Amino acid sequence: MSDPVLCGVILHPAGHTLSPLLHETAYSALGLDAHYEVFDVPPRDFARELEALRARRVRQLSVSLPHKEAALALSERVSPAARAIGACNTLTLEDGAWRADNTDWIGVQRTLEPLGPWQGRRATVLGAGGAARAVVYALHALGLEVRVLNRTAERAEQLTAELGGRVGGLDEPYDLLVNATSLGMAPNVEQTPAPADALRPGSTVFDLVYRPLETRLLREARAAGCPTQDGLDMLVHQAVEQLRLWSGQTADAALLRRTADAALAAEAR
Ligand code: NAP
């Protein structure tokens, strides 16, 4: 019998990451022999740890905050999407060299596709960090017109200069509003990135935050008559795509969603 494939998630601080649960559930359902670990690595140790993991033949890594840019910079091969987005959430050891991919944008695309059609519609994205960059990349792939609004205006300008779209405001009409800031995330659940009076009935509101699943933004959006989408499907779909890149197999997204829902419900109790 061959040894299990060694893989894991590299991040700091480790907190309550759902990645091991999602990947282990998928490996087990697909009958794959893999061992998925959590590597809690502070930024100053990232480069050294990556070398140590290469030497240990850890071949597949999910990359989370704060390492997504450093992982890109240290990779020998980079996919076009990871290069354009400027962040890597997936590392694969190929012939001894790290290949950087980004599956966050695929997570966004697969989450939104069933809620479309989106071609020619208008999106406003709140935030200009790494997640917002993956969102903007996905929205362009779906054919939306993109405006970006961020607390630090220069970051929104830089994002749109690099990825397209333009800087905009909440006073402009939109068909899709995306929260790609950390506002509303536990424990700051009373924060929201958009005032209730900026929510437009009939426009879809997608919040990347998934702790809690129903953020204040989504609660107020529902009350305003907006279709809503939480952040957990994005997390599930980016993991499904990681597994496809690594094993060529397609994990059952609905099974992973049910598993993650149960874990978040248990956490909340
Ligand atoms: P990041 O690079 O640190 O960016 C954070 C963003 O939030 C920036 O635009 C920042 O604005 C904004 N922000 C933070 N505090 C704020 C405040 N008090 N008022 C206004 N804006 C504020 O983080 P990230 O990786 O992009 O992640 C952003 C969010 O997406 C997080 O909640 C993360 O959990 C979520 N996420 C979800 C998934 C998923 O699969 N569902 C995947 C990735 C990320 P400034 O530029 O002005 O600082």
Per-residue pLDDT of 43-69, as tens digits, reads 999 999 999 999 999 999 999 999 999
Q: Quick one: DSSP state of residue 163?
A: H
Distance 222 CA to ligand 1 centre (A): 22
CA 81 to CA 100: how far, in whole Å? 9
Give the residue whose CA is nearest to atom 22 of ligand 1: 181
Residues annotated as part of the active site: 68
State yes or no: pLDDT of 18 exceeds 70: yes
Query: What confidence category does residue 15 fall into, taking pLDDT thresholds of 50, 70 and 90?
Result: confident
Query: What confidence category does residue 1 fall into, taking pLDDT thresholds of 50, 70 and 90?
Result: low
Give the residue whose CA is nearest to atom 6 of ligand 1: 181
CA 74 to CA 67: how far, in whole Å? 10
Please state the pTM of the whole predicted model. 0.97
Distance 131 CA to ligand 1 centre (A): 7
CA 56 to CA 210: how far, in whole Å? 33
Query: Is the CB of 132 inside a 6 Å radius of any atom of ligand 1?
Result: yes
Q: Which residues of 133-149 are buried (b: 16+ CB within 10 A; e: fewer)?
A: bbbbbbbbebebbbbbb
DSSP letter string over 93-161?
A: EETTEEEEE--HHHHHHHHHGGG---TT-EEEEE--SHHHHHHHHHHHHTT-EEEEE-SSHHHHHHHHH
> Would you state the pLDDT for residue 58?
95
> Would you state the pLDDT for residue 2?
73
E-strand ranges in the chain read 5-11, 34-40, 58-63, 77-78, 90-94, 97-101, 122-126, 145-149, 166-167, 176-179, 204-207, 228-229
> Would you state the pLDDT for residue 3?
81
Query: Is the CB of 7 inside a 6 Å radius of any atom of ligand 1?
Result: no
